[in-house]
Structure formats: C-alpha cells, structure tokens
Amino acid sequence: MLRGLTTITYLADDVAAARDWYARLLGIEAYFARDAGGRPAYVEFRLGDYQHELGIMDRRFAPPEPDGAGGVVAYWAVDDADAAYAHLLDLGATSHAAPVERGPGYVTASVLDPFGNILGVMENAHYVEVLGSLKH
C-alpha cells in the first residue's frame, strides 16, 4: 500500500525565513510557492535522486495535534551522516540526536531546524543498493 517517501511537510511561523534556510541547505530554490494574506504560506522543493518533495507550510494552517500525538522523524538519504549532521549544525540547526551507527551501512542523525522541525539524515545501505540496481 505504501509506495515510498513522497512529500515531507515541515511547519514554520516564518515561511520566507524557512524557505531561505532550506534553499541554503539544499543548494536549490523552491520550485513552487503559494501566498496567503500577503505573505508566503507554502513553498515546496524537489530534491534528490527521486525528486522527493519537501514542503514548508505556515504553522497557522496546520491541523491541530491531538493530545499525546507522537513525533515522526523523516530520514533523508545522505552519503555521509557525520558530515551532513555537522553541516546542519553549521547552518544553525540544533542537535536532536548525534550520529549513531545502527548496523553495518546504517548511520542515523537528526537535528531540530531553526523552525522546530525534526530533520533526520541517514546513511542507508539499502537505499544505495536500490539506487544502484535502477541504474543498470
């Protein structure tokens, strides 16, 4: 039923600032934007090997969270989790979980972006294997 990662949406009180921060991180500009009330309400980037979508939505449009809601960490594939983690910290993110080896070929780390969202990065041997098989 689930086919894979498609869109991750983060929330921000200041979408313009979040857009600019993520543009610096990703090295690309948002390809889509929508305004509401004269200010950015939603922006979206396409990135990576499969053009996954990263959206940033104004927190005022977020659905209410039920009591006891759990957090979710979406992990983005990277070649070097330690380097990605350090780069994110250099850009102003704060540590959520330092890099940890989870097994051979699997390293995870996560940060809180400047807007309060958890951003996970992962070295993932399976991702690399699948990507390699698609290039043959």
Q: What is the pLDDT of residue 21?
A: 98
CATH code: domain of residue 112:
3.10.180.10
Same domain, 57 and 76: no
Same domain, 78 and 131: yes
Q: What is the pLDDT of residue 24?
A: 97
Q: What is the pLDDT of residue 67?
A: 64
Decide if pLDDT at 129 tops 90: no
Look at residue 66 and tell me if it is in a domain. Answer: no
Same domain, 1 and 50: yes
Structural domain ending residue among the three candidates 61, 86, 107:
61
Look at residue 67 and tell me if it is in a domain. Answer: no
Look at residue 136 and tell me if it is in a domain. Answer: yes
Decide if pLDDT at 98 tops 80: yes
Let me know if 101 is exposed, middle or buried by CB neighbors in 10 A (0-12, 13-18, 19+): exposed
Q: Give the residue numbers spanning the domain of 95.
A: 72-136
Stated pTM of the model: 0.79
* Phi, psi at 21, each rounded to 5°: -65, -45
Q: What is the pLDDT of residue 136?
A: 64
* pLDDT tens digit sequence for 18-66: 999 999 999 999 999 999 999 999 999 999 888 889 999 998 888 776 6
